[in-house]
Structure 1
């Protein structure tokens, strides 16, 4: 008998995020190549929201979010690794430019 398939429903203010893969190397603003093996302390990363609980207020599925990947819970679903965190652990949500308000910083 085959294993039954389950739908994942996040609870409360929990958010499931798929981390965007790191590029193999980075370049500084001066053009210096930084190899992928160099780890940067306290570096925030971007990810995509794949699930939200009923109590989340500011993010929705598909949003691009900025967060600290350290000290988050990790779960593997069908071979893909996701992070589970509280909505308050997110630092920013990237949205398309629509008006003059905001920080003026865009990806």
Structure 2
């Protein structure tokens, strides 16, 4: 039997995010490899928005968002792990251009 594709519709103010793969191992400015399991301090993570609910106002599918992964709920769909969170738990949205001229450029 062939696998059916699931279509997931997020409800209310919920956002479905996939953690970016580059948030694993890091390198210090001196070239030292820091494993993903190293606990230095609480660290925010970047992720890609895959779905949004009907009451989400500032985030859209395809945006790159900054959030705290420790405070969120994980869900596994077809062997992939995703994060489900409320829109208010997102700290920042990365965009190509800034309209207001404030903030950081990554």
Both proteins in one fold, TM over 0.5: yes
1:66 equivalent in structure 2: 66
Q: Following the alignment from structure 1 to structure 2, what is the Cα–Cα distance between the partners of residues 70 and 23?
A: 14
Structure 1 moving runs of 4+ over 4 Å: 1-5
2:105 equivalent in structure 1: 106
Q: TM-score, normalised by structure 1?
A: 0.84
1:45 equivalent in structure 2: 45
* Matched residue SS, 2:70: coil
Pairing 1:6-85 to 2, within 5 Å after superposition: 6-21=6-21, 22-28=23-29, 31=30, 33-36=32-35, 37-85=37-85
Query: What is the aligned residue count?
Result: 104
Shift of 1:6: 3.4
1:87 equivalent in structure 2: 87
* Matched residue SS, 1:70: helix
Deviations 1:41-100 (A, max 9, x none): 210010000000000000000000000001211001111100000000000000012446
Q: Following the alignment from structure 1 to structure 2, what is the Cα–Cα distance between the partners of residues 4 and 32?
A: 45
Higher helix share: 2
Gaps of 5+ in 2: none
RMSD: 2.0
Q: TM-score, normalised by structure 2?
A: 0.85
